[in-house]
Chain A
Amino acid sequence: MSDDIAGMAPLAVEPQEHCPEDDIPQPIDAETLTRLLHELRNPLTVMMARTQMFTRAITQDRLHGAEECLEGLAVMEGAAQKIDVVLKAFQASAGVPPDTRGRDGVGVVRLASTGGAIGHCTRCIHLEPLPLSGTTTNEPHA
């Protein structure tokens, strides 16, 4: 897996109390990761492009009326919800406990182009790429 989603912030969640032993996540297999990443591309495209167009329209004073604004925002909200759905699936695949998934709404997962699988530290749901060997999984991050 060599794709990096540029410009995406890490999942911004404060460290939790220790994750239960049973919920220590397993790395996502490459096929699942590829599928989830692919499913992100269309909603990300809509979100990014609509935001860009909406911002441009506002700065150029080309949006007139609340209805137009609401329509533009509704489309972005729809895209954000799709991203959230993929995120939930992603986290579920990584073994993140359900009660800590997507706590801050539309969380975004940072995917470094390491070719590794994804797991998260044992103290929180901060997701990090792991080596393919999986020998260093679940180390708490710094």
Chain B
Amino acid sequence: MAALDATASRRICSVRLHAPKGHTMNTNGQQPHILCVNHPPDILALQKSIFEEEGFKVTTQSRLDKDLDAVVALAPDVITIDYMWRSSDDEWVFLTMLTMDRRTRQIPIILCTGAVREARELQEHLASLGIRVVLKPFDVDHLMNVVREALGKTAAEGGSVISPLQ
């Protein structure tokens, strides 16, 4: 089982689908850069495939690098992140800092998570931080719509939207 999963994850990383026309651009008319933070490698591989197929530059992290300077250096146009603060408040504090620091606060953040109850409990607070939410399992088109919408607005303009499976 584990061997098969690892093989599958490695294999999918090598898959190169032929990208369709009409790629998404960032507000500067350039290839958008998305930072994906999610723990399961198969979810990261999936997100990488989805966003690369849409013409994004994709950086993946299995753990949140709690270094604001590192995020600034990466300069992502948008960040997707799983809910990772069950056992520690560090991630939550860092996420809050991301939304407040003048260097990063314009970066839209999308919480892409299966932690439905936590996301709903935090809905108001997430909204106040301008963090959008996409719940797993998600529809690919829906995820892309949320990302495109986020790219078209600053985080401050955004607002949180709990987005269940369509």
- Residues of A near any B CB (own CB < 8 A): 3, 6-7, 34, 38, 41-50, 52-53, 57, 60, 62-64, 68, 71-72, 74-75, 77-79, 81-82, 85
Contact = CB atoms under 8 A, between A and B. Distances in A.
Nearest to B114: A41
A74 B140 contact: no
A45 B14 contact: no
Contact of A45 (B17, B20, B53, B114): B114
Interface of B: 1, 4-5, 7-9, 11-12, 14-18, 20, 40, 42-43, 45-46, 49-50, 53, 114-117, 136-141, 165
B17 A57 contact: yes
Contacts of A47: 137
Nearest to A60: B20
Given A49-B140, A52-B139, A6 B17 contact: no
A100 to B, nearest CB: 22
B7 to A, nearest CB: 7
Contacts of B4: 74, 77-78, 81
Question: Does more than half of chain B's interface fall in helix, strand or loop, or is it mixed?
Answer: helix
A6 B14 CA distance: 31
A78 B9 CA distance: 9
26 contacts: A34-B117, A38-B115, A41-B114, A41-B137, A42-B43, A42-B114, A43-B42, A45-B46, A45-B114, A45-B137, A48-B139, A50-B12, A52-B139, A52-B140, A53-B140, A57-B17, A60-B20, A63-B17, A64-B18, A68-B17, A71-B11, A71-B12, A77-B8, A78-B42, A81-B4, A85-B1
Contact of B136 (A42, A71, A78, A85): A42
Contacts of A85: 1
A75 B12 contact: yes
Contact of B50 (A38, A49, A72, A74): A49
B114 A75 contact: no
A48 B17 contact: no
Contact of B15 (A38, A45, A49, A72): A72
A62 B21 CA distance: 12
A105 to B, nearest CB: 15
A52 B137 CA distance: 12
A74 B45 CA distance: 13
